[in-house]
Amino acid sequence: MRFSIYQESKKGGRKNNQDRMGYCYTREALLMVVADGMGGHLNGEVAAQIAVQTLGTRFQKEAQPKISNPQRFLEDSILDAHREIHQYRVLNQLPESPRTTIVACIVQNGSALWAHVGDSRLYWLRSGTVVSQTRDHTKLQSMVMHGKASPTELQNHPDRNKVFNCLGSPSDPMVELSRKATLKRGDSLFLCSDGLWSAVSDKNIVDAFSSKTVMRAVPDLIAQALQEHGSHADNVTGMAMTWDGTELGDEASGISTLLLPVGAINSTIQLPNLPAENQDDLSDDEIERAIEEIRTSISQTTHSKS
């Protein structure tokens, strides 16, 4: 596989950054994840961190060197993250579970499949158009679907932040899965938190990826979002991958996974140091140590590029 990828996150006008992101890849598969901890609940950043790490951990165990069933992987790992968040609540005797939205994507065999819970989005972009995008799990999106609100209200309506589907909720979340998307050279997949898409129009997103590389488009869109909302800006996170094909050619750019040693995995997701064996039967002390590692890392804002 050949692709270019870039990720960046800014806290905006908020005291803390509750967004988390990361990607992992082997020679034949790529995982991308963005999670947005919900600020209306305690420890939203912990929920987002747990979610990203849960998917990263499962990917590193199951991508040998690719995921056998991407659809099942996405659904099962996101539900695993939901359960891990509830385990965190129990261990820390919290009155309620922290909560987060999530969007994740698997790329392998020249195609992509994605899943989301909440209002973190994925855009599939090609030749100056949005081929497909995720549908927000919000009260406002439901109103639009039933003809009670206009799509033009999605960015500014007072109810746009009322999310009805998230990880950490009392009931199991609904994981919405995409159909398999066959990628063409030059296609981009853009994952972002609502702090970005609520401040930047879809047209601006399309224009950015039509005229710039991911290394320029993502930071430029983040800067636009921060400028638009000023001191009231939410956390703003974006991650984008531009597909360059499956073979290594003379005009290769970005990352070529063929250069990765067999069996190796590259990752920007910081994982807790869990025992190599019997990870499904951890003691309370082992779980608490893992969560403590999460706590020490949640204050870090990842900013990396390839």
pLDDT at residue 282 is higher than 50: no
From residue 60, alpha-carbon distances to 3, 14, 165, 258, 264 in Å are: 19, 33, 27, 17, 9
Instruction: Tell me phi and psi for residue 78, to 5 degrees.
Output: -70, -40
Nearest CA-CA partner of 155 in 235, 227, 225: 225
Residue-level pLDDT at 270 = 77
Reported as a single tens digit per residue, the pLDDT across 56-108 is 999 999 999 999 999 999 999 999 999 999 999 999 999 999 999 999 999 99
Reported as a single tens digit per residue, the pLDDT across 190-214 is 999 999 999 999 999 999 999 999 9
From residue 149, alpha-carbon distances to 140, 155, 197, 199, 203 in Å are: 7, 12, 18, 19, 20
Residue listed under structure tokens 């998230």: 166
Average pLDDT, the chain: 86
> What gap in Å lies between CA 211 and CA 225, rounded to an integer?
18
Query: Which domains can be identified in the chain, with CATH numbers?
Result: 2-274+282-305 (3.60.40.10)
